[in-house]
Amino acid sequence: MMDIRYSANQRDFKRYTTEETRKEFLIEKLFEADEVIAVYSHVDRMVTMGIMPVKETVPLNKGIDIWKNFGTSYFLERRELGMFNLGGAGTVTADGTVYKLERKDCLYLTRGNKEVTFQSDDPQNPAKFYIVSAPAHCSYENKFISIKDAAKKPLGAMETSNKRVINQFIHPDVLKTCQLSMGMTVLDAGSVWNTMPAHTHERRMEVYCYFDIPKDNVVFHMMGEGQETRHIVMQNEQAVISPSWSIHAGAGTSNYTFIWAMGGENQAFDDMDVIPTTELR
């Protein structure tokens, strides 16, 4: 069954307990052998999914009532999606075309792909396909993007513990999409902060997926309004939903990597409302 999350507003959020905050925004488990884990958020109608094929070839719609949840005859009839492989090598077949994804490779599938399936090359080291899907009202072209082909944007410094490289994959500088943007930010060893100064996107929402968090380490994901912040303690291979009114920043007990996905009114990477760090509360 698909986990459906309804939109929370910033006024009620101020009264949330830790448990309520985690239930509302945290996607605690993304991968289960030969299953499709899916969370439908009414924040911009984004769907976050995890697929880990082990012994089976897993279809995109496994366990999902497409008509009940989307009112369409197949998943990508009025949607687009982007995915990253966080595990071992695997393949994705979309309407007969086979794409091979190594770890940290990316694949964009446009609206109109009917049959999409997932396989792992080695059941002992299965692929882990992390997927985010957004509504789409036009179609472009499917595209595979390797980590080496991503547009790279170095930011930060060791002195501020936030030296990192933003890898833009599903982005206007790389390919055309309807509204979805996705990328991967890799922190250098010794750096722990991401996305500082903090900001909001009044015109877009965002989903973060944290991975490559070393064993026995965590990331403190900051969210909420800039003057009313909260945090969620996150572990490896977990995702978090960030509404447009919320900041989305984090600090780990070690360096880590995260995937960001955005959908909303535009795809302008720098369209953000920055909050000076000294004004955070």
Per-residue pLDDT tens for 223-263? 999 999 999 999 999 999 999 999 999 999 999 999 999 99
pLDDT of residue 271: 83
Per-residue H/E/C for the chain: CCEEECCCCHHHHCCCCHHHHHHHHEECCCCCECCEEEEEECCCCEEEEEEECCCCCEECCCCCCHHHHHCCCCHHHCEEEEEEECCCCEEEEECCEEEEECCCCEEEECCCCCCEEEEECCCCCCCCEEEEEEECCCCCCCEEECHHHCEEEEECCHHHCCCEEEEEEECCCCCCCCCCEEEEEEECCCCCEECCCCEECCCEEEEEEEECCCCCCCEEEEEEECCEEEEEEECCCEEEEECCCCCCEEEECCCCEEEEEEEECCCCCCCCEECCHHHCC
pLDDT of residue 72: 98
Q: Is pTM, for the whole model, over 0.75?
A: yes
Res 202 pLDDT > 90: no
Mean pLDDT on 193-208? 91
Look at the chain and count its residues.
Answer: 281
How far the first Cα of the chain sits from its last, in Å, is: 38
Cβ(157)–Cβ(163) below 8 Å: yes
Confidence of residue 64 (pLDDT cuts 50, 70, 90): very high
Res 203 pLDDT > 90: no
Per-residue pLDDT tens for 81-131? 999 999 999 999 999 999 999 999 999 999 999 999 999 999 999 999 999
Report CA-CA distances (Å) from 162 to 18, 190, 194, 208, 231: 27, 8, 6, 17, 19
CATH class in words for 15-279 = mainly beta
Mean pLDDT on 43-70? 97
Average pLDDT of the residues of the chain? 96
Task: Give the separation between CA 50 and CA 265, rounded to whole angstroms.
Answer: 25
Res 267 pLDDT > 90: no
